[in-house]
């Protein structure tokens, strides 16, 4: 299949330079995951939680290299969906990959909404759990951004850059001050739990690295992509990895096992209290609300448009391609995706949501590394990096499955049922699809 034609690049003055590309990647990754999955990582890996984040970052770096080489070879906004189309002759594989990608983004939006509800409830209601308030807040934030996206209001590049800068500065402040207040008995011995918890912790929190794969989609708006694409991916992952490891180290060094068990869903805010007091709790809580809200908006915006593109290529039902005349907003796609996310976030718990999102992206990244291996001569990549990325992705995915089988079999059954439903829906649609005009 020939590479799709590249759209005309914007004028040099409006192209993204390397710093902006890195900022885009960091902003996509440091969304809401770190604020919610930190407690899960510490619960599984114990003192080795920083190593769990480092291991997740290594998988992301290996996979990022595959994305960079594929992106340079196939200049397309289709991203993972396009790469799968080139690597495999069967359209079923690319189509199923696209359906899984949409499911993964729905999982990440559910995680962001869940985190917004958790931190919002903690800031409003103190230490007493309030499930009704939690469900209300996580639903309202999704409906708010559904309305914004339907209306057509978009964040500008400047405002998004300010959001990224603000949340990174807050986390950096937390890390630097927190390092000065570490308690040695909280971080040593390094492996206070079974070594297997390290891999399980990395698998559970891998969704926190989801986001860098969006960088190749902006190649047409990038200055000197041959130079800046790979540097942008590696730079953004490296910065995110450093932030995550430092934040995890500070959290481990300031939280007791009892606090981790009690406040697992908003452990990061609680970890700020020993050295920043109530102001630290409030600062981290507000950063979480700010960050997750921005991530929901950006993810909903991009996911709805990905679904619309897939519908135009007859890889999704035609309703996902319906666009409003005049402004081209994929209104029905926005509504369907938001409705599924609302259902998911209100029925599942944090472990189920995080496990589903991490599992899905580990599968997708394994498929991308396999695609790079199959296309290695065409894209000019040595087999070692994608082979390692494939092995680590699959190993983490299997570790996650073992954890769920032992600790939460109902979550494993639910996730397996969701994958079966996605696969059957894709196969059924692929036999019934009919091309149609998608403008209404």
pLDDT at 158 over 70: no
Q: Where are the domains of the chain?
A: 12-432
- CATH code, 12-432: 1.20.1740.10
Helix 350-374, helix 409-432: angle, nearest 10: 50
Phi first, then psi: what are they for 16, rounded to 5°? Answer: -80, 130
DSSP notation for 385-410: HHHHHHHHHHHHHHHHHHHHHHH-HH
Q: What is the pTM of this model?
A: 0.85
- Diameter of the chain measured on Cα atoms: 65
Give the pLDDT band (50/70/90) at residue 436. very low
pLDDT category at 14 given cuts 50, 70, 90 is low
* d(C-alpha 350, C-alpha 37), whole Å: 8
What value does the mean pLDDT of the chain take? 84
pLDDT digits (tens, 9 = 90+) for 254-278: 888 778 878 877 888 888 888 888 8
* Whole-number Å distance between alpha carbons of 386 and 394: 12
Q: Transcribe 243-305 into DSSP letters.
A: HHHHHHHHHHHH--HHHHHHSGGGHHHHHHHHHHHHHHHHHHHHHHHHHHHHHHHHHHHHHHH
Distance, CA of 421 to chain centre: 22
The rounded Cα 299 to chain-centroid distance in angstroms is 9
pLDDT at 157: 45
* pLDDT tens-digit series, residues 87-103: 987 778 888 988 999 99
Write down the H helix ranges in 74-90. Answer: 80-87
Q: How far is CA 302 from CA 149, 248, 299, 308, 429, in A?
A: 10, 29, 5, 10, 23
324: pLDDT strictly greater than 80: no
CB count, 10 Å around CB of 256? 12
Query: Alpha-carbon torsion 77, 168, 134, 42, what sign?
Result: positive
Task: Between 156 and 72, name the one with better pLDDT.
Answer: 72
Q: Report the percentage of the chain scoring pLDDT > 70.
A: 90
Measuring CA to CA, how many Å separate 167 from each of 171, 230, 275, 292? 6, 24, 19, 10
Q: In 3-state terms, what secondary structure has residue 126?
A: coil
Query: What's the number of CA atoms in the CB half-sphere (13 Å) around residue 207?
Result: 35
**DSSP character at residue 74:** S
pLDDT tens digits, one per residue of 394-431: 999 998 999 899 888 999 999 999 999 999 988 888 77
Give the C-alpha separation, 317 to 307, whole Å: 9
Distances (CA, A) of 15 to 67, 224, 364: 20, 9, 29
Query: Which pLDDT band, with edges at 50, 70 and 90, does 439 fall under?
Result: very low
The per-residue pLDDT for 8 is 47
pLDDT in tens, 54-65: 999 999 999 999
pLDDT in tens, 300-311: 877 887 788 788
């Amino acid at each position: 299949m020939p590479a799709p034609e590249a759209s005309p690049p914007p004028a040099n003055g409006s192209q993204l330079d390397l710093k902006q590309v890195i900022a885009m990647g960091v902003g996509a990754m440091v969304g809401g995951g770190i604020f919610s999955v930190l407690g899960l990582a510490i619960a599984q890996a114990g003192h080795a939680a920083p190593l769990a984040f480092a291991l997740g970052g290594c998988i992301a770096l290996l996979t990022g290299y595959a994305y960079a080489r594929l992106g340079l070879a196939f200049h397309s906004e289709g991203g993972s969906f396009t790469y799968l189309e080139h690597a495999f002759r069967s359209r079923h594989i690319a189509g199923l990959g696209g359906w899984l990608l949409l499911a993964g983004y729905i999982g990440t939006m559910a995680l962001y909404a869940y985190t917004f509800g958790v931190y919002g409830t903690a800031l409003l209601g103190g230490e007493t759990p309030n499930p009704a308030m939690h469900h209300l807040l996580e639903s309202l934030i999704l409906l708010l951004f559904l309305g914004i996206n339907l209306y057509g209001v978009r964040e500008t590049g400047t405002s998004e850059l300010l959001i990224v800068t603000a949340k990174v500065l807050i986390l950096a402040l937390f890390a630097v001050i927190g390092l000065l207040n570490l308690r040695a008995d909280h971080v040593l011995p390094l492996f206070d739990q079974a070594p297997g918890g390290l891999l399980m912790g990395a698998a559970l929190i891998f969704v926190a690295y989801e986001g860098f794969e969006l960088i190749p989609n902006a190649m047409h708006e990038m200055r000197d992509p041959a130079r800046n694409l790979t540097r942008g991916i590696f730079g953004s992952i490296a910065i995110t990895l450093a932030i995550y490891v430092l934040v995890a180290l500070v959290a481990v060094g300031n939280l007791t096992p009892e606090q981790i068990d009690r406040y697992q869903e908003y452990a990061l805010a609680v970890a700020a209290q020993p050295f920043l007091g109530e102001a630290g709790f409030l600062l981290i809580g507000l950063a979480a609300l700010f960050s997750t809200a921005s991530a929901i908006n950006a993810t909903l915006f991009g996911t709805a448009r990905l679904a619309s593109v897939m519908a135009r290529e007859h890889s999704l039902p035609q309703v996902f391609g319906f666009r409003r005349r005049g402004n081209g907003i994929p209104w029905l796609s926005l509504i369907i995706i938001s409705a599924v996310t609302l259902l998911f976030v209100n029925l599942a718990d944090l472990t189920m949501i995080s496990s589903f999102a991490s599992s899905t992206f580990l599968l997708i990244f394994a498929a991308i590394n396999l695609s790079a291996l199959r296309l290695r001569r065409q894209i000019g990549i040595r087999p070692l990096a994608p082979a390692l990325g494939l092995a680590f992705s699959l190993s983490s995915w299997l570790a996650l499955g073992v954890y769920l089988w032992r600790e939460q079999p109902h979550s494993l059954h639910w996730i397996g049922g969701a994958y079966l439903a996605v696969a059957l829906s894709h196969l059924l649609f692929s036999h019934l699809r009919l091309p149609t005009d998608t403008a209404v």
